[in-house]
Every structure is written in structure tokens, then in C-alpha cells.
Amino acid sequence: DAGVIQSPRHEVTEMGQEVTLRCKPISGHDYLFWYRQTMMRGLELLIYFNNNVPIDDSGMPEDRFSAKMPNASFSTLKIQPSEPRDSAVYFCASSSDAADRTDTQYFGPGTRLTVL
């Protein structure tokens, strides 16, 4: 299995632009998580989905952030408009209630976002 796949790996954009981060979870996993990591705040959970339905988005910082999961194999995290303080590494993770390691979260390699 290829693991969790994220794209792009690096993104540099200018303030005010729209940014879309993409994630493909491990096949068969029914939970998908989006995290953000910064030096100041560490690793924070933004939102998670179960069976493509958003369950808890209490970590989403503000309305500029939105996340979707149109099907079991794809999710997006969108920032519009982007601001310099959104610069961070964004991780996607997936897990399953049915796997041998129930509830173990498998993380992708992350997307490093820089907003100038």
C-alpha cells in the first residue's frame, strides 16, 4: 500500500490567493483527519471525517478554511483567501475501525505551505 498521499508537497503562494491541498487516504480507511503544524502551536487537529461526512470541525481556525471529502478516496483542504499566518505544514491522516490496528492513525508526508 502506498500509504496516505498528499499533494502538493510544497506550495508557495501570495497573500490573498486560494490554496487547495489534497489528500488520498489509505484504501479501505473510513476516517480522515487534517492537521496543521507550526512552531508556535505544534500539531493541531483541524477537522475529521467519517465515511466522507465531517464529524468535528471545531479545530478549523476560521471561515477562510474549508474541507471536503467528495468520496472515500479523496479530500481537499482549501484556504481562501490565504494569509501569511497560514504558513505551516499540513498533514492528512487516515484510520479504520476495521483494521488490525484499530484507530491507529497513519499520516501522510505533509504539505509545506508558505504564504508570502
**Rounded to the nearest whole angstrom, what is the least distance from the CB of residue 114 to other proteins in the complex?**
15
Q: Answer yes or no whether residue 106 interacts with other proteins by CB under 8 A.
A: yes
For residue 70, with 0-12 CB atoms within 10 Å meaning exposed, 13-18 middle and 19 or more buried, which class applies? exposed
**Rounded to the nearest whole angstrom, what is the least distance from the CB of residue 108 to other proteins in the complex?**
6
Is the preceding peptide bond at 54 cis, omega within 30 degrees of 0? no
Looking at 12, 15, 55, 116, which residue binds other proteins (CB under 8 A)?
55
Q: Answer yes or no whether residue 107 interacts with other proteins by CB under 8 A.
A: yes
**Rounded to the nearest whole angstrom, what is the least distance from the CB of residue 81 to other proteins in the complex?**
27
Grouping H, G, I as helix, E, B as strand and the rest as coil, residue 84 is helix
